[in-house]
Amino acid sequence: MLLLDFFKKESDVPKGPIIFMGILSGIANSIVLGVINQGAQKVSNNEEVTQLAFIFLISVALFIYTRKYSLSQATIMVEQAIRRVRVRITDKIRRTELTFVEKNDRAQIYTYLTQDTNLISQSGLTVISAIQSVVVIIFCSIYVAILSPVGFLIIAVGFTVAALLYLSHSKAISKEIHLSITKEAEFFGILNHVLDGFKEIRINRRKSDDVFHYVEKISVETEQIKISTGLKFVTDIMFSRVFSNSLLGIVVFVMPLFSPTHATIVIKITATVLFLISPIEAIVGAIPMFARATASIENITKLEASLDEVLQQNPHSSQMDDRTIEENVAEFARFQRIQFEQINFQYTDKTGMATFRVGPIDLTVEREEILFIVGGNGSGKSTFLKLLTGLYYPLSGSISIDGEELDRTNYQAHRELFSIIFTDFHLFDRLYGLQNVDDKRVKSLLQMMELDKKTKYLNGQFSQLDLSTGQKKRLAFIAAVMEDKPIYIFDELAADQDPQFRKHFYEEILPDLRRQGKTIIAVTHDDSYFHCADRVLKMELGQLKPYPIVNG
């Protein structure tokens, strides 16, 4: 079973004691039934039942202890497995390539690591309870075999028929569960559109209605699939009740016709069947959980396999130790020039056809240079920055640092040269990656950026991130400065700022960074400040061209 294999692989908690205690719990529960039957018979005959009462108490105590132990350890096992999977996959995500993140549906990844792992988490206790229920059924069947071979045959045939009927439609249920999980991911995806694109849909009624209609469509499709699956499970549950009642009817009304049986035997078998109703329903009720958990494991396995495929394409990057990377970073940090030679890159669609090309690009970036990049939307500026920072690998051409050509073994060290603020930057609440942060310097930077009244740096984190777009960019700038990297890349950082800050940014902040030995590459459209740059390059249709600076 995939679910059991998952727990076996992902958890160090000993599985043997859990299974043993689960089986022992089922045996103890079965013994309770036998003792009660025997005790009832002795009481009806006015016989002594003290010894049976003592056995009954021991069996109940054993059942309670073993069941609690197995369920407690199962809980630890399951949560350890979930924690390991989440941490391992998150680690692989952070070590994968940007292209993987851009091409894959984030909502689906969220679903796999949250909703699917929660389903697996909930399945742990269900698995142990189902094992215990199976044990109870097995030992109760043995008990019936001792009482009456005919009764045992009836029960054995009944369970065989029930199992075959279930297996006949289990594949259809599994397929529908997979489909429902996919639809759930689609819903999360469109919900992200509603939240991330709220401004756009709030001012455009037709766009808002269109998005909402798609939400309704996905929701209806999900509802229909879940109803269909749920009705199948309802059928299973009702079948278990009909099966139990049928067994009772056969034992009471049919079995005596073919096998003369003493009334006490019929009563004991009837009591046993009644006792089995709860385990049977527990197993049938566990089937939906098993099916959903199995589908979730398959989804997570598929995600991890796709991550492994990407990581295997670049094994050197993921296998290099921190010390080696730091040594390369220290060497690269002394660079004098970074050179692009005939760099080409292209985006492709699902069929492999090129949709947009950048290059060939020939460029030399000198140390302590202030370089401005201009260009219209869709011209290739962001792609160029991703190539420059090593977030994209070029399709052809070479990038070299002081004559040393980059390859997959030193790309990470190259990336470490940059502190970047993209237009779609993410603002972290803490200065992650920095140790021994100088709180006074952070406070000074907050004052310089006129943010000291908006947010504070307290207990290692910023107290407020609910800021305007311009304020968020200034806070991101503070985080970038604190990283103290050799090269700063600012993608439209001065946009959304007031004229006074723009002037301060171009005429004071950038020159000050250069005096500190930093290299600055800024994407900007503020042509009135082009004179602050050493060079201005224009990106047009994926090509970089010199742009004349008019001193003003």
Run of H or E including 280? helix 263-313
pLDDT confidence tier of residue 505, bands split at 50, 70 and 90: confident
Confidence at residue 487, expressed as pLDDT on a 0 to 100 scale: 92
* pLDDT tens, position by position, 209-222: 887 887 888 888 87
Mean per-residue pLDDT, 458-465: 82
Confidence at residue 370, expressed as pLDDT on a 0 to 100 scale: 92
C-alpha 521/C-alpha 533 separation (Å) is 9
The answer, yes or no, to whether residue 190 has pLDDT greater than 80, is no
Provide DSSP, 33-80.
HHHHHHHHHHHHTT---HHHHHHHHHHHHHHHHHHHHHHHHHHHHHHH
* pLDDT tens, position by position, 112-126: 888 788 878 877 777
Instruction: Quote the pTM value.
Output: 0.75
Burial 527-541 (b: 16+ CB within 10 A, else e): eebbebbebbbbbee
DSSP state of 304: H
* pLDDT tens, position by position, 15-52: 888 888 888 888 888 888 778 877 777 777 777 778 88
The answer, yes or no, to whether residue 533 has pLDDT greater than 80, is yes
* pLDDT tens, position by position, 382-422: 888 888 888 888 888 888 888 888 887 788 888 888 888 88
The answer, yes or no, to whether residue 322 has pLDDT greater than 60, is yes
Residue with the bigger pLDDT between 359 and 169: it is: 359
Length of the chain: 552
Lowest-confidence range among 4-8, 113-117, 285-289, 494-498? 285-289
Strand, coil or helix: 292: helix
Q: Where are the alpha helices (DSSP H) in 314-378?
A: 315-319, 322-332
* pLDDT tens, position by position, 119-172: 788 777 777 777 778 888 888 888 778 877 777 777 777 777 766 666 665 666
* pLDDT tens, position by position, 440-455: 888 888 888 888 888 8
Question: If we measure between CA atoms, which residue out of 20, 9, 33 comes closest to residue 70?
Answer: 20
Mean per-residue pLDDT, 457-478: 85
* pLDDT tens, position by position, 73-102: 888 888 888 888 888 888 888 888 888 887
Residue with the bigger pLDDT between 24 and 243: it is: 24
The structure tokens listed for 196 are 């991330």
C-alpha 385/C-alpha 399 separation (Å) is 13
Amino acid (one-letter) located at 192: N
CB-hemisphere CA count at 13 Å for 305?
Answer: 6
